[in-house]
Amino acid sequence: MKIIAVTDDRQSVKTLTEKIIAIKDVIDYVQIREKSKSVREIVSFIEHLQNNGVKKEKIIVNDRLDVALCMDIPTVHLPEHGLPVKMVKERYPHIRVGCSVHSFEKAKQAETNGADYVQYGHCFETNSKQGLPPNGVEPLLQMRKELSIPVYAIGGITLETLPSIQAVGADGVAVMSSIFAADEPYSITKKFREAIHNEK
């Protein structure tokens, strides 16, 4: 299983940079999901990360295809109602495209349209989706059975809920609050990594 650390759009560029640099060796990817920040701030943020040893291959730019293209970042993640996956893949075939989905049907459609991976959620109750009931983990079983692209679980992923995700065979987890709201991001991320490796 792989770990994607998803930024929470609640912290300064400086704080986020420090946290990501601390965990860069125990995560597989970091997804820059900073909807309230300007494009210029996001560009500066990514430059800071790269200047401090975060490889561009580990960076996923959320939604902003323009930023990914201009900064030569190889992966862009599209919201379910964002740019059409098919359009992006046809015009920029070299870009790795991920897509957020909330059902098996949407995941299957994303794969048909050329998505390289999907993020399915939200699996459990989470503060970032307050008031919205979770979609559960069961659809992940069907996705793993019928899709050929990687499937990542997102939404309420904690050390306590991780075993449920492992049980359905997801390819990885996308973790936001558990990492970025933690007092010691490295410590908690290392525990995720150890729990994943201990399973094997």
Q: Is 122 annotated as catalytic? A: yes
Catalytic option among 48, 77, 81, 122: 122
Residue with tokens 């048909």: 112
Distance CA 177, CA 8 (A): 7
Q: Which two tokens stand for residue 148?
A: 């050929």
Residues 6+ apart with CB under 8 A from 109: none
Burial code (b: 16+ CB inside 10 Å, e: under 16) for 100-126 equals: bbbebebbbbbbebbbbbbbbbbbbeb
In this structure, are strands 117-120 and 59-62 parallel, antiparallel, or unpaired? unpaired
Q: Note the helical H segments in 71-176.
A: 85-91, 104-112, 138-146, 162-167
Residue at 176: amino acid letter:
M
3-state DSSP assignment of residue 175: strand
Distance CA 67, CA 74 (A): 11
Distance CA 75, CA 107 (A): 18
The residues annotated as belonging to the active site are 122
